């Protein structure tokens, strides 16, 4: 004896009886039952659709998160590549530093600008050692130069293509009689040298 026979499902689900009962209802009740059945059918059909839609929404959210992570990864990778390139450039430039490259560069720029070397006094300061780099420092004093030479000199030192140079503590004393002339200009120039 099967389970269906035990619960007598066939008799309980007799559609002919239901259909006859439906036809026996007045017109208004038939409309209400039809609307109720329609709503129940829509709900039954919408459940799987909403379930699938919910799963698709979760997958879309996961995909968006994945896209953001990939974008962040590539951004970090680009930053790392740029930093590594900068570090390699600094390392190469540091290896080209001679015993007195700052002085050589200073004199090359002053010669290019037509500043007499006798007006230029570079003084080597104690280097500042770090874990990876050592900062090489020179205090420079230049006397009796034109204002335009002063500006061009600082610009050319900072834009030097051979090694990165920073300029600090610039002090300019103009001639009181002629504002286009600088009596004394002092500044500190520095660069980084990779430790061996």
Residue 87: what pLDDT? 72
User: Using CA of residue 50, residue 52, residue 56, residue 61, what is the dihedral sign?
Assistant: positive
Q: Residues 153, 174: contact at Cβ < 8 Å?
A: no
pLDDT for residue 95: 56
Distance, CA of 63 to CA of 21 (rounded, Å): 53
The pLDDT tens digits of the residues spanning 159-191 come to 888 778 889 889 989 888 888 888 999 999 998
Sign of CA dihedral 142, 108, 136, 151: positive
* Cβ-contact 170, 187 below 8 angstroms: yes
Bridge partners of residue 172, in order along the sequence: 185
Tokens of 155: 């610009």
The pLDDT score that the predictor gives to residue 86 is 76
In terms of pLDDT, which residue wins out, 105 or 162? 105
Query: How many angstroms separate the CA atoms of 35 and 130, rounded?
Result: 83
Structure letter (DSSP) for residue 126: P
Tens digits of per-residue pLDDT, 11-44?
Answer: 556 667 777 777 777 888 888 888 888 888 888 8
> What's the confidence (pLDDT) of residue 188?
92
- Kindly list the structural domains of the chain, giving each domain's residue range(s) and its CATH number in brackets, ordered by start: 1-69 (no CATH), 101-194 (3.30.70.60)
% of the chain at pLDDT higher than 90: 16
Strands (DSSP E) found in the chain: 120-124, 128-129, 133-146, 166-174, 181-194
Q: Which of 1-5, 16-20, 57-61 has the lowest mean pLDDT?
A: 1-5
Whole-number pLDDT of residue 186: 93
Strands 120-124 and 166-174: unpaired
Return the pLDDT at 143.
93
**pLDDT for residue 48 is more than 60:** yes
């Amino acid at each position: 004896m099967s389970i269906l026979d035990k619960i007598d499902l066939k008799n309980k689900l007799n559609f002919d009886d239901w259909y006859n009962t439906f036809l026996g209802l007045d017109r208004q009740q038939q409309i209400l039952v039809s609307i109720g059945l329609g709503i129940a059918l829509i709900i039954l059909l919408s459940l799987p659709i909403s379930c699938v839609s919910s799963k698709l929404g979760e997958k879309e959210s996961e995909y968006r998160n994945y896209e953001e992570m990939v974008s962040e990864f590539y951004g970090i990778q680009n930053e790392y590549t740029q930093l590594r390139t900068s570090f390699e450039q600094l390392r190469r430039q540091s290896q080209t530093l001679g015993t007195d490259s700052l002085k050589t560069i200073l004199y090359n720029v002053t010669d290019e600008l037509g500043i007499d070397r006798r007006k230029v006094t570079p003084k080597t300061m104690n280097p500042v050692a770090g874990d990876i780099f050592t900062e090489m420092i020179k205090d420079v004093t230049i006397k009796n130069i034109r204002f335009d030479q002063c500006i061009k000199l600082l610009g050319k030192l900072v834009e030097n293509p051979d090694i990165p140079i920073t300029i600090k503590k610039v002090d300019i004393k103009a001639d009181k009689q002629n504002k286009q002339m600088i009596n004394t200009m002092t500044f500190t120039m520095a660069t980084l040298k990779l430790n061996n």
